[in-house]
Structure 1
Amino acid sequence: MEQFSGVSKFVKKFSLVFAGIFLFLFIVRLIYSYAVGPETNIVNQEQGSSINFDYGRKNYASEKFYTPQDKAPISASSQKYEKVAAVSSKTSEFDENEKKTRKMVEDVKGVIQYEQRSGLPGKRTLQLGIGVNPDKFDSVVESIQTIGVIDSISVNKTDKTNEYKNITATRISLEKSKAGLLGLKGKNGKIEELISLEKEILEIEGKIQDLGVKLGEFDQENEFCTIKFTLKETGAVSGGFITFLKKCKISLEWTIKYGLLFSFLYTFAAVGGWITWFFGVKILSYLRTKGIL
């Protein structure tokens, strides 16, 4: 009975110590989940979204240069460039922050050139392609970072001057070719040759129109810089208590996983130590009986 009582006390003490360690780990993990913000396991944000989404529209702007002598502008379009900011934010107040974003675009007289929505309540994603005037670009980028919790941001500026010059030169060359072909239409020739000439003129006209559309993107009246904004919902909209339960679930899973690992390592070390001690005592006792020690 005494041996049974001793074993019972040992089991109780061990259980209390293990429960204390388990509870301590659980509380630490729960506090950590609130400290770092929304759990990635609570809401799967892999909704196929990317802050560098492409929506086809290209915005270009011009920058004036000044001579060092009289500071007079050399040309109103001496440099053409594309400036793109990609901003991604996450929020638990999705509807409110969406309204805030649209109000911001309206206040700076920007243009929402692209919009895509995806996901269900709690896991929604909004992608906006916003065109803003070049002189307001930096201030809008700073302001949009205050919406939700900023996740990532990148700003890229690409020189498009050579591309603009090449398109202009190509269009001028095609117009000259068209003028030369039109001069041939008044001359006599075979029907097949006239038909082929007409087809060639129409083909050149189509290329000129395409280049005209591209040059229209560089028009100073259409000057914009692009902001690609992605707003992701963190899923906390389900309510504070529900979120607390989800965090508890994650903390419990984590504690069980690492608690069992800790227990296994502790048990393995304890058993190994006990075996080492047991055989060590036996060996020493044997050596003493033989007079070796």
Structure 2
Amino acid sequence: MKTTVKNKIGKLSLVLGIGFIILFAYRLSTEKENSIAPTPLFQQTELLESNLEIRKNYATKRHHVTLGQAPMQVDQKYEKIADIKSTSSVFDRDENQLRKYVSDYNGLIQFENKNGNSGYRSLNLTIGVPPEHFDAIYQQLIQIGTIQAKQITKKDKTNEYKELRAKKMSLEKIRTSLIDLKTEGGRIEEYIQLEDRILEIEQQLQALGVSLGNFDEENEFCTVKFSLTEKKITNTSLTQRITSAFLWTLTTYLQLMLVLLFIAGFSFLTVSTIEKLRKN
């Protein structure tokens, strides 16, 4: 009787031991020799481009429509922005590839911020891209590094453009009228006030000229915002991998045994209760 119990215990121990070894071997084989260290929070710089003097990029799309019997051409002004965030463990190579794509597609770097020490660097670019090259460069850029997020936003700016033009025409008419008033003579105080008003309108026209200049078809661009963050790779020694695999296996195995023990106990209590109910 004792020999039979010992044999059962020995077989059970052998099965459990083999299971532990198999689980340990699996975990050790999946342990990576390299690990990526997280970027320190103090290196993650948030850029507020809204506070910087960055040129707005707009483009034009022509639509041919028919009004009645007469064909017409309608120009749509729009803003198109691609926002791409990527991480890289080969930062220098990916940065060079990024700049090469900008050059190949006749892009213009309008904003650049690069910071951080080796292993924890980040690069943020705002790129103006000719509209005809936007889709092509976007497909190339999403191949750089490991993409964390990407999106394309398109906004219609036709009404804003028309409002700026209408405001400019209105100010030009007012300026012409004020200049005509100067020829009629009057008191010095009135003349000075008139000159001040003309100067104020000139300043407003200059500001409008800058805004309308962004819509100029000769300088049309779409925008690509690309953020590249470096991930430092650290080598893990064989001893560290064995220790990590053993601790993980031990923890997982104990949890598995507790679950099985709970299931067995619950099953035993259930069967015992059913047997008692049958006897009663």
The correspondence of residues 77-226 of structure 1 with structure 2, limited to 5 A, is: 78-186=75-183, 187-189=185-187, 191=189, 193-226=190-223
Q: Secondary structure at the match of 1:64?
A: strand
Contact 2:61 2:77 in 1 (8 A): yes
Q: Say if 1:254 and 1:116 are closer, same or farther in 2 by CA, change over 3 A.
A: farther
Q: CA deviation at 1:266?
A: 4.0
* 1:235-258: CA deviation from partner (whole Å, max 9, x where unpaired): 22x4xx349888778767765665
Q: State the one-letter code of the partner of 1:200.
A: R
Counterpart in the other structure of 1:61:
59
The alignment's C-alpha RMSD in Å is: 4.3
The whole-number CA distance in structure 2 between the counterparts of 1:244 and 1:84 is: 47
* Deviates further, 201-210 or 120-129: 120-129
Q: CA deviation at 1:21?
A: 6.7
Q: CA deviation at 1:232?
A: 2.2
The whole-number CA distance in structure 2 between the counterparts of 1:52 and 1:262 is: 50
The whole-number CA distance in structure 2 between the counterparts of 1:222 and 1:249 is: 61
Counterpart in the other structure of 1:265:
259
Query: Could you state the TM-score of these two structures normalised by the residue count of structure 2?
Result: 0.74
Q: State the one-letter code of the partner of 1:180.
A: S
The whole-number CA distance in structure 2 between the counterparts of 1:178 and 1:152 is: 50
Is it true that 1:26 corresponds to 2:27 in the alignment?
Answer: yes
What is the number of equivalent residue pairs in this alignment? 269
Q: Flag the structure with higher strand content.
A: 2
Contact 1:110 1:131 in 2 (8 A): yes
Aligned-pair identity in percent equals 34
Counterpart in the other structure of 2:224:
227
Q: Say if 1:246 and 1:99 are closer, same or farther in 2 by CA, change over 3 A.
A: farther
Contact 1:51 1:86 in 2 (8 A): no
Q: State the one-letter code of the partner of 2:158.
A: T
* Deviates further, 171-180 or 44-53: 44-53
Q: State the one-letter code of the partner of 2:221.
A: F
Contact 1:87 1:145 in 2 (8 A): yes
The whole-number CA distance in structure 2 between the counterparts of 1:212 and 1:245 is: 68
The whole-number CA distance in structure 2 between the counterparts of 1:246 and 1:115 is: 40
Q: Which runs of 4+ in 1 moved over 6 A?
A: 8-12, 49-53, 243-253
Q: Say if 1:257 and 1:182 are closer, same or farther in 2 by CA, change over 3 A.
A: farther
Q: State the one-letter code of the partner of 1:43.
A: P
Contact 1:45 1:232 in 2 (8 A): no
Contact 1:51 1:87 in 2 (8 A): no
* Deviates further, 45-54 or 219-228: 45-54
* Deviates further, 132-141 or 243-252: 243-252
Q: State the one-letter code of the partner of 2:131.
A: P
Q: Say if 1:100 and 1:45 are closer, same or farther in 2 by CA, change over 3 A.
A: farther
Contact 1:51 1:230 in 2 (8 A): no
The whole-number CA distance in structure 2 between the counterparts of 1:206 and 1:212 is: 10
